[in-house]
Amino acid sequence: MKHILYYFLSVVFISSGICAQEQEDTAPKKGHTNTNKFKQLYDEFSTPNAYRAASGAPGYAYYQQQADYKMDIVLDDKNTTLSGFETITYTNNSPDVLKYLWVQLDQNMRAKDSKSPLIQAGEVDPVMYPSQFTKKYLKERFDGGFNIQEVKDESGNPLPHTINRTMMRIELPKPMEKGDTFTFSIKWWYKINDHVNDGGRSGYEFFPEDGNRAYVIAQFFPRMAVYSDVEGWQNSQFWGRDEFALTFGDYEVNITVPADHILDGTGVLTNRKEVFSKIMMERYEQAKKSYNTPVVIVTQEEAEAKESTFSTETKTWKLKAENVRDFGFATSRKFIWDMMAVKIGDKDVMAVSMYPKEGNPLWEEWSTKAVASTLKTYSRMTFDYPYHKAISVHAKRQGMEYPMICWNYGRPKEDGTYTDRVKYGMMGVIIHEVGHNFFPMIVNSDERQWTWMDEGLNTFLQYVAEQDFGEAYPDALSEKDEHFPSDRGPAHMIVPYMSGNQDYIAPIMTKGLNTYQFGNNAYGKPATALNILRETVMGRELFDYAFKEYANRWKFKHPTPEDFFRTMEDASAVDLDWFWRGWFYTTDWVDIGIKDVKKYYVSSEPNTYMKDIMKERGIKKNQLRPLVFMVEEGSEDFKKSMKDQDPTEIKTVKEYLMDNFTPQERKAIKAPKYFYNITFEKPGGLVMPIIVEYTYADGSKKKETYPAQIWRFNDNEVSKAIASDKEIVNIVVDPNKETADIDTANNSWPKQEVQGEFDSFKEKIQG
Ligand SMILES: [Zn+2]
């Protein structure tokens, strides 16, 4: 009956709208529902198995497929077409029987019937440049899709195949069992796109002044899709954004181009003597022994002289690469070429640059040095660079990576001058793209699914490498800069993103195609998270060991996010599930502050708290056992008990407690005079360590870090009782801005005015 009445009353209260307060009182406190933030990631992670161990290492039954390519490629410079005949030998190392194979046809993203433009939502622009208007409304769409001329088996029999946009399924004559090998060939051609005007990660730039083109050519051949224990066939379509998932293999590639072209690409050049002039050979031999200064193989003068030759003869460049996941090349008669050697472990690697004269003077000065410095840093942080060369090619507005070769932007003005932005942008992109040799070219993650696994890890190391480069080449820095001005990595630089409108933020663990703010989501935030992990949460020693372990476990293999997360914990004994959960699986932000500081003194007089208990239980003062009472400065208790005495005289400790200690123990006993109750608040959703700097009255400072687990029982606020022999005059949370705290207005005690940062944040999240 009572229950019914209570229920009835509740209904009345709710319907009359006066129940809100009561509801809040009976509901569990928000701060007591946070156990989830420290819950292990069993639900989110896939279960470890024979292929992928719980430690994050490859399991005992780990396998990966193999795809070997032999290709003859012809570039028709006049008609801007590329054609090829390729033979693929595919080995099924999986325990599964395969009935068909999937081959990627990335160029079909640019086919006339491509659906990529159809998923780009957009309205009528009220104002446009004529060129934009022309491109949008007046021009036929460029048709750069593959023309597949034949798909045949080894004996020349046509193989049934089905093209579904950027994927082609090839029916096998008989199913492939474990260990089986199947060889087939594809003949194809396509029209090369102008990457400057039509976009794309590869293509040509046309130079109207001299009528030449510089080609940077990639994802140009039908490539095997990955078949793995995680995805089965990774045949997710290429829409243009998510990059690639590729199988390792050996390549033999013959590329025929105009005879006056200079070409370089993935792999060892096996017919150098046929394609190099005598003087080039001599300079090349010199370059192999030059460790500090690049040696020019083709000079600017020589390149300029060729700009008008337009040879109708051809030359074939032969390249051979082992254990690479892809193949790319660059070719033009405009290319200047320089190289130098760099010691990596006990091996010499060639750092190489190719650029048209339009890249100078910036490129001859800094490209090859940036390549060399990058290889050193990345090798130190992961494993020795295993290939024999790394090439940086200058291509307008490009930043794109392939094994041993990458395209990079950064072009001076026509008069050869350049801004700091162009210079640092060029150095940064070279470091980044050369760095991609490690992630994902060697630590071969699935870019189609997880952009952050290569971009995030690589951007993190890019930051480390940029700082190293600035130290190794102080001349590269402008006068005003003490360090390389990295634009991603330092914690505070991610604050604008993480404090932004939540409607346009996705967790890092989101497929690249579907993320808002791609750059911040897949590059900036994971790079920052790793930097914070290294500098603040784990420390360099533990982080670097674990990161290196991950790189070594998964070099020349296919890791997943869990393999990374697990290895970082496995190799360090740091439980990071809370960190991965917060930073990678949510869009929460960091905001930790000081809510309140109370100062206490010790008193021998019972305080109000005690008096209430005594009154309730009828206890007389003389019945009390010795007790220490804490009174808050300024309180009634404080005024009464301290009267005229100095509050820092801790009589009670001496009077009551000393009896319990031996004379020897007494000597070692601490005698704190000041006691503080400090309450930290956490308006932000992310749990993070509380880094606190205490400043004392004598000017000295002490830094203390309370691990993130301090938030495990209360997600909103926690208090710490501090005893000190010196008076604390100032407390600052995150004094070095290392946690990406989005609101520093609450970071200091006594409060310091921080201009409007928080207000603008509040407007943003409400807006
Ligand atoms: Zn990248």
Q: What is the pLDDT of residues 70-98, one digit of tens each?
A: 999 999 999 999 999 999 999 999 999 99
CATH number at residue 58: 1.10.390
Binning pLDDT at 50, 70 and 90, where does residue 32 land? very low
Residue 244 forms part of a structural domain: yes
Tens of pLDDT, residue by residue over 182-224, are 999 999 999 999 999 988 999 999 999 999 999 999 999 999 9
Looking at the fold, whether 81 and 35 belong to one and the same domain comes out as: no
Mean pLDDT of 450-461: 97
More confident residue, 758 or 17: 758
CA distance 234 to 225: 6
Q: Is 187 exposed, middle or buried (0-12, 13-18, 19+ CB in 10 A)?
A: middle
Of 219, 228, 185, residue with least CA distance to 66? 228
Ligand 1 centroid to residue 602 C-alpha, Å: 60
Looking at the fold, whether 190 and 107 belong to one and the same domain comes out as: yes
User: What pLDDT sits at residue 27?
Assistant: 40
Ligand 1 centroid to residue 471 C-alpha, Å: 23
Residue 642 forms part of a structural domain: yes
Q: Using the 3D structure, point to which of 587, 613, 634 is the last residue of a domain.
A: 587
Please check whether residue 529 is in contact with residue 584, taking contact to mean a CB–CB distance below 8 angstroms. Answer: yes
Mean pLDDT of 748-757: 72
Query: How many C-beta atoms surround the C-beta of residue 421 within 10 A?
Result: 10
Ligand 1 centroid to residue 528 C-alpha, Å: 15
Ligand 1 centroid to residue 738 C-alpha, Å: 24
Q: Among the ranges 131-145, 452-466, 603-617, 645-659, which has the highest mean pLDDT value?
A: 452-466
- The DSSP-derived string for 160-205 is -EEEETTEEEEEEEEEEPTT-EEEEEEEEEEEPPBHHHH--SSEEE
Q: Give the pairing type, strands 212-217 and 329-332.
A: antiparallel
Please check whether residue 409 is in contact with residue 355, taking contact to mean a CB–CB distance below 8 angstroms. Answer: no
User: What pLDDT sits at residue 29?
Assistant: 44
Ligand 1 centroid to residue 521 C-alpha, Å: 13
Looking at the fold, whether 578 and 663 belong to one and the same domain comes out as: no
Ligand 1 centroid to residue 453 C-alpha, Å: 10
Three-state DSSP class for 648? coil
CA distance 375 to 55: 28
Residue 427 forms part of a structural domain: no
Ligand 1 centroid to residue 442 C-alpha, Å: 14
Of 426, 461, 422, 304, residue with least CA distance to 353? 426
Please check whether residue 549 is in contact with residue 559, taking contact to mean a CB–CB distance below 8 angstroms. Answer: no
Proportion of the chain above pLDDT 90, given as a percent: 80
User: For every residue of 345-376, which 3-state class applies, written as one string?
Assistant: CCEEEEEEEEECHHHCCHHHHHHHHHHHHHHH
Q: Does the pLDDT of residue 6 top 60, yes or no?
A: no
User: What pLDDT sits at residue 49?
Assistant: 97
Tens of pLDDT, residue by residue over 319-373, are 999 999 999 999 999 999 999 999 999 999 999 999 999 999 999 999 999 999 9
Ligand 1 centroid to residue 426 C-alpha, Å: 14
Ligand 1 centroid to residue 454 C-alpha, Å: 7
Looking at the fold, whether 235 and 255 belong to one and the same domain comes out as: yes
Ligand 1 centroid to residue 333 C-alpha, Å: 28
- Non-local (6+) Cβ contacts of 750 within 8 A are 730
Ligand 1 centroid to residue 311 C-alpha, Å: 36
Count up the domains in the chain and report the number. Answer: 3
Ligand 1 centroid to residue 455 C-alpha, Å: 5
User: What pLDDT sits at residue 602?
Assistant: 83
User: What pLDDT sits at residue 625?
Assistant: 79
Ligand 1 centroid to residue 401 C-alpha, Å: 7
Ligand 1 centroid to residue 571 C-alpha, Å: 26
Tens of pLDDT, residue by residue over 548-595, are 999 999 999 999 999 999 999 999 999 999 999 999 999 999 999 999
- Non-local (6+) Cβ contacts of 611 within 8 A are none
Ligand 1 centroid to residue 487 C-alpha, Å: 14
CA distances from 108 to 222, 239, 506, 748 (A): 10, 9, 29, 57
CA distance 298 to 352: 12
Ligand 1 centroid to residue 243 C-alpha, Å: 10
Ligand 1 centroid to residue 209 C-alpha, Å: 31
Q: Does the pLDDT of residue 12 top 80, yes or no?
A: no
Ligand 1 centroid to residue 440 C-alpha, Å: 9
Ligand 1 centroid to residue 456 C-alpha, Å: 8
Tens of pLDDT, residue by residue over 100-150, are 999 999 999 999 888 888 888 889 999 999 888 988 888 888 899 999 999
Tens of pLDDT, residue by residue over 218-267, are 999 999 999 999 999 999 999 988 999 999 999 999 999 999 999 999 99
Looking at the fold, whether 594 and 743 belong to one and the same domain comes out as: yes
Q: Does the pLDDT of residue 151 top 60, yes or no?
A: yes
User: What pLDDT sits at residue 654?
Assistant: 58
Mean pLDDT of 687-709: 97
Secondary structure letter of residue 656 according to DSSP: I
Ligand 1 centroid to residue 227 C-alpha, Å: 24
Ligand 1 centroid to residue 690 C-alpha, Å: 32
Ligand 1 centroid to residue 452 C-alpha, Å: 9
Residue 397 forms part of a structural domain: no
CA distance 747 to 753: 10
Q: Give the pairing type, strands 347-355 and 389-394.
A: parallel
Ligand 1 centroid to residue 400 C-alpha, Å: 7
User: What pLDDT sits at residue 766?
Assistant: 44
Q: Does the pLDDT of residue 14 top 60, yes or no?
A: no
CA distances from 316 to 86, 300, 593, 627 (A): 16, 23, 66, 93
Mean pLDDT of the residues in the chain: 91
Ligand 1 centroid to residue 353 C-alpha, Å: 19
Ligand 1 centroid to residue 114 C-alpha, Å: 25
Residue 11 forms part of a structural domain: no
Q: List 314's β-bridge partners, or say none.
A: 258
Q: Does the pLDDT of residue 33 top 60, yes or no?
A: no
Counting other chains too, the contacts that 744-751 makes at CB distance below 8 Å and 24 or more residues apart are 745/593, 746/591, 746/593, 746/594, 746/595, 746/681, 746/683, 747/592, 747/593, 747/594, 748/594, 749/594, 749/597, 749/678
Please check whether residue 67 is in contact with residue 89, taking contact to mean a CB–CB distance below 8 angstroms. Answer: yes
Mean pLDDT of 5-22: 32
Count of H helices and E strands in the chain? 21, 31
CA distance 264 to 296: 15
Residue 430 forms part of a structural domain: no
CA distance 261 to 331: 6
User: What pLDDT sits at residue 373?
Assistant: 98
Mean pLDDT of 47-68: 98
Ligand 1 centroid to residue 77 C-alpha, Å: 29
Q: Does the pLDDT of residue 17 top 80, yes or no?
A: no
Q: Read off the amino acid at residue 693.
A: E
Ligand 1 centroid to residue 522 C-alpha, Å: 9
Ligand 1 centroid to residue 524 C-alpha, Å: 11
Looking at the fold, whether 759 and 686 belong to one and the same domain comes out as: yes
Please check whether residue 392 is in contact with residue 370, taking contact to mean a CB–CB distance below 8 angstroms. Answer: yes
Greatest Cα pair distance in the chain: 112
Ligand 1 centroid to residue 221 C-alpha, Å: 21
Looking at the fold, whether 52 and 86 belong to one and the same domain comes out as: no
User: What pLDDT sits at residue 2?
Assistant: 34
Ligand 1 centroid to residue 693 C-alpha, Å: 37
Binning pLDDT at 50, 70 and 90, where does residue 720 land? very high
Q: Does the pLDDT of residue 754 top 90, yes or no?
A: no
Binning pLDDT at 50, 70 and 90, where does residue 759 land? low
Ligand 1 centroid to residue 556 C-alpha, Å: 18
Ligand 1 centroid to residue 436 C-alpha, Å: 6
User: What pLDDT sits at residue 539?
Assistant: 97
Tokens 């003869």 correspond to 313
Q: Among the ranges 130-144, 538-552, 665-679, which has the highest mean pLDDT value?
A: 538-552
Per the structure, the complete domain to which residue 472 belongs is given by 31-62+450-587
Ligand 1 centroid to residue 337 C-alpha, Å: 24
Ligand 1 centroid to residue 457 C-alpha, Å: 9
Looking at the fold, whether 330 and 474 belong to one and the same domain comes out as: no
User: What pLDDT sits at residue 380?
Assistant: 98
Looking at the fold, whether 177 and 158 belong to one and the same domain comes out as: yes
CA distance 338 to 361: 13
Ligand 1 centroid to residue 101 C-alpha, Å: 29
CATH number at residue 325: 2.60.40.1730
- Non-local (6+) Cβ contacts of 95 within 8 A are 61, 63, 178
Ligand 1 centroid to residue 681 C-alpha, Å: 37
Of 365, 440, 350, residue with least CA distance to 410? 365
Mean pLDDT of 150-178: 98
Ligand 1 centroid to residue 431 C-alpha, Å: 10
Query: How many C-beta atoms surround the C-beta of residue 514 within 10 A?
Result: 11
Looking at the fold, whether 691 and 632 belong to one and the same domain comes out as: yes
Tens of pLDDT, residue by residue over 620-659, are 888 887 788 889 998 998 888 777 677 776 555 555 566 6
User: What pLDDT sits at residue 440?
Assistant: 98
Ligand 1 centroid to residue 84 C-alpha, Å: 28
Q: Give the pairing type, strands 66-76 and 249-258.
A: parallel
Please check whether residue 670 is in contact with residue 657, taking contact to mean a CB–CB distance below 8 angstroms. Answer: no
User: What pLDDT sits at residue 58?
Assistant: 98
Looking at the fold, whether 647 and 601 belong to one and the same domain comes out as: yes
Please check whether residue 516 is in contact with residue 21, taking contact to mean a CB–CB distance below 8 angstroms. Answer: no
In this structure, what token pair is assigned to residue 642?
Answer: 């301290």
Please check whether residue 604 is in contact with residue 655, taking contact to mean a CB–CB distance below 8 angstroms. Answer: yes
What is the four-CA torsion angle of 679, 684, 689, 694, rounded to 10 degrees? -40
Please check whether residue 451 is in contact with residue 243, taking contact to mean a CB–CB distance below 8 angstroms. Answer: yes
Proportion of the chain above pLDDT 70, given as a percent: 92
Ligand 1 centroid to residue 441 C-alpha, Å: 11
Binning pLDDT at 50, 70 and 90, where does residue 15 land? very low
Ligand 1 centroid to residue 13 C-alpha, Å: 58
Q: Read off the amino acid at residue 23.
A: Q
Q: Using the 3D structure, point to which of 357, 385, 417 is the last residue of a domain.
A: 357
Query: How many C-beta atoms surround the C-beta of residue 479 within 10 A?
Result: 5
Ligand 1 centroid to residue 458 C-alpha, Å: 7
Q: How many CA atoms lie within 13 A of 698 on its CB side?
A: 5
Strands (E), 575-625: 593-603
Ligand 1 centroid to residue 432 C-alpha, Å: 6
Looking at the fold, whether 544 and 597 belong to one and the same domain comes out as: no
Ligand 1 centroid to residue 329 C-alpha, Å: 18
Q: Does the pLDDT of residue 16 top 80, yes or no?
A: no
Q: Using the 3D structure, point to which of 534, 555, 587 is the last residue of a domain.
A: 587
Ligand 1 centroid to residue 621 C-alpha, Å: 73
User: What pLDDT sits at residue 36?
Assistant: 84
Ligand 1 centroid to residue 416 C-alpha, Å: 27
Ligand 1 centroid to residue 520 C-alpha, Å: 12
Residue 246 forms part of a structural domain: yes
